[in-house]
Chains A and B, each alone.
Chain A
């Protein structure tokens, strides 16, 4: 049992460093997650008094968006609708070579090895501002009626974990899928509708300011997104932004 794997891992000391691939051998178990396999590698490296491979992770259950990695050319690896932390080693073959690289975009500078700075996405969220709600007593559940389909669609968009795989997958390095998911998530709900115009204008402007590429409807983002966010979100963002520009107060 177990898998003998050859890894080609991107190593880069810091943002100034050129970076290069380093080859490793690792024994993994089919039931391990991809990150656990890297944990094994790092334990060995530490044991050998070598620098462990830096990679990001937090929840390890597919909900926080911290994990990243481009595995054999694909953000979050070969499986559809799966984050790297939820990817299991049984999807790889014994003796296989796995190439592990960081998410690539000029807006995601490499900090170290496989860790990139995705704070540009945070700044887009911040630019969105606030949602007006009454404070005070906790409101009764269902006190604001929301049509079922709306709630469902909003929820689909809310599934975006902000991982940035869409930016990494996009040949243009565009953050349109991420930004539009956030915009549609709030815009479809009555609570979010109130400030939608300014929110959309500010978030789109921030996306531009950060230097993300301009969406040309390639659809690589949609194909790689671990939460299956669709291009319909981007169309929603366009409508909302056009509306905010030409009819906003």
Chain B
């Protein structure tokens, strides 16, 4: 097993972890957004609550959810330790800092962006996930048994200006993180080829704008139009 330890001691091994966990989280975001879009349905929360009930009770989803928490924490832990290591490896910096236009700002600030996302997640989880798990919510029945009324909690939160602002900022930060992260994940797996890398990069840019935009629309919609 020493060979495996050696592998994960190198940058190649660590970044392979970052790439795989990152791609998993990228997939997760899509699923999460598709579910959240149920909030746009004008049915008093039935579709959303039914979906939330399914997501928290289906055994397969539960397993994936635990995998998701684990990958998220692993991604954060390895990412932060990489940033600390790299800061030391660089040591003293040049007095004149030159910004090459070919280098994105996001790529140099991934750890900072990631930590902001983590802070956002704590807030987000405390807000909804915690309430969902600890039974602070009312229950409603749409004819298929009782489900928790997460919808009311969400729509009430999205009436608070500071929460709406926090969510929008959280999504902007996420967009920057993905701007570098999406294509970087492929490079970390060794996937880089003139045939398809331009497509990955282009797709990644669209992804990093559209997904956070989709999330950000929900609090804004509730705040202004509900």
In the complex where A105-B91, A173-B90, A242-B12 touch, is A219 in contact with B96 (Cβ < 8 A)?
A: no
B190–A236 CB distance below 8 A: yes
A21–B95 CB distance below 8 A: yes
Please, how many angstroms separate the alpha-carbon atoms of A213 and B93 in the complex?
Answer: 14
B90–A214 CB distance below 8 A: no
A101–B96 CB distance below 8 A: yes
Within 8 A of A (CB), among B76-94: 82, 85-86, 88-94
Segment of B97-105, B166-174, B208-216 engaged in the interface with chain A: B97-105
Segment of B1-9, B28-36, B58-66, B142-150 engaged in the interface with chain A: B1-9
B9–A173 CB distance below 8 A: no
Which residue of A72, A169, A174, A242 contacts B11 across the interface (Cβ within 8 Å)? A174
B100–A224 CB distance below 8 A: yes
A214–B95 CB distance below 8 A: no
Segment of A24-32, A49-57, A203-211 engaged in the interface with chain B: A203-211
Complex interface: chain A residues within 8 A of B189 (CB): 238
Does A82 sit within 8 A of B, measured CB to CB? no
Does A239 sit within 8 A of B, measured CB to CB? yes
In the complex where A21-B95, A101-B96, A237-B12 touch, is A173 in contact with B89 (Cβ < 8 A)?
A: yes
The interface on chain B, measured as residues whose beta carbon lies within 8 A of the other chain's beta carbons, has a size of 43
Does A216 sit within 8 A of B, measured CB to CB? yes
Please, how many angstroms separate the alpha-carbon atoms of A216 and B4 in the complex?
Answer: 21
Counted as pairs of residues, one from A and one from B, with CB atoms less than 8 Å apart, the total is 130
Please, how many angstroms separate the alpha-carbon atoms of A37 and B119 in the complex?
Answer: 52
Please, how many angstroms separate the alpha-carbon atoms of A239 and B192 in the complex?
Answer: 10
In the complex where A106-B89, A208-B9, A213-B86 touch, is A238 in contact with B98 (Cβ < 8 A)?
A: no
Does B107 sit within 8 A of A, measured CB to CB? yes
Which residue of B12, B14, B180 contacts A241 across the interface (Cβ within 8 Å)? B12
B192–A214 CB distance below 8 A: no
Please, how many angstroms separate the alpha-carbon atoms of A105 and B10 in the complex?
Answer: 18
In the complex where A214-B82, A216-B15, A242-B16 touch, is A172 in contact with B188 (Cβ < 8 A)?
A: no
Within 8 A of B (CB), among A198-243: 204-205, 207-208, 211-220, 222-224, 231-232, 234-239, 241-242
Which residue of A72, A169, A224, A232 contacts B192 across the interface (Cβ within 8 Å)? A232
Complex interface: chain A residues within 8 A of B86 (CB): 171-174, 213-214, 216
Please, how many angstroms separate the alpha-carbon atoms of A215 and B85 in the complex?
Answer: 11
Please, how many angstroms separate the alpha-carbon atoms of A89 and B95 in the complex?
Answer: 22
Residue of A nearest to B85 (CB): A214
Please, how many angstroms separate the alpha-carbon atoms of A106 and B92 in the complex?
Answer: 7
28 residue pairs from A and B, CB less than 8 Å apart: A21-B95, A74-B98, A101-B95, A101-B96, A105-B91, A106-B88, A106-B92, A170-B90, A171-B86, A172-B90, A173-B86, A174-B86, A214-B82, A214-B85, A214-B86, A217-B187, A218-B103, A219-B103, A232-B192, A234-B187, A235-B192, A235-B193, A236-B190, A237-B12, A238-B12, A241-B10, A241-B12, A245-B13
- What residues of chain B have their CB less than 8 Å away from a CB belonging to chain A? 3-4, 6-7, 9-16, 82, 85-86, 88-98, 100, 102-103, 107-108, 110, 180, 183-184, 187-194
